[in-house]
Amino acid sequence: MSSTFERIYDIVRQIPRGKVATYGQIARMAGMPLGSRVVGYAMASCPDGNGVPSRMVRLYAPQFPVE
C-alpha cells in the first residue's frame, strides 16, 4: 500500500465519531489541495477490517441554506 494512501487512512481514522469529511477536506489535510480524486481512489481500495471508518468520508457535503 502506498505511503500516500496510508497518510489518507491515518487522517480518516482521526475523524470523530458522528462527523464526516469530504474528499477535498481530507486531501487538503494530507497536503494535496487538488488531490480529492486520490482520496477517492484510496477509499475505494481500502481493505475491509483495517480500522478506517470509510462511512465518514463523502464525495461532497451538501450546502444547507442558513435561516
Domain spans, the chain: 3-58
pLDDT tens-digit series, residues 1-25: 589 999 999 999 888 888 888 889 9
Mean pLDDT along residues 47-56: 72
Grid coordinates in use for 27? 486531501
Per-residue pLDDT at 64: 44
Mean pLDDT of 47-58: 72
pTM (2 d.p.): 0.77
How far from 28 is each of 21, 34, 38, 67, CA to CA, in Å?
Answer: 11, 8, 11, 29
- Range of weakest confidence among 16-20, 36-40, 47-51: 47-51
> What CATH number should be reported for the domain whose range is 3-58?
1.10.10.10
Spatial distance between the Cα atoms of 42 and 39, rounded to a whole number of angstroms: 5
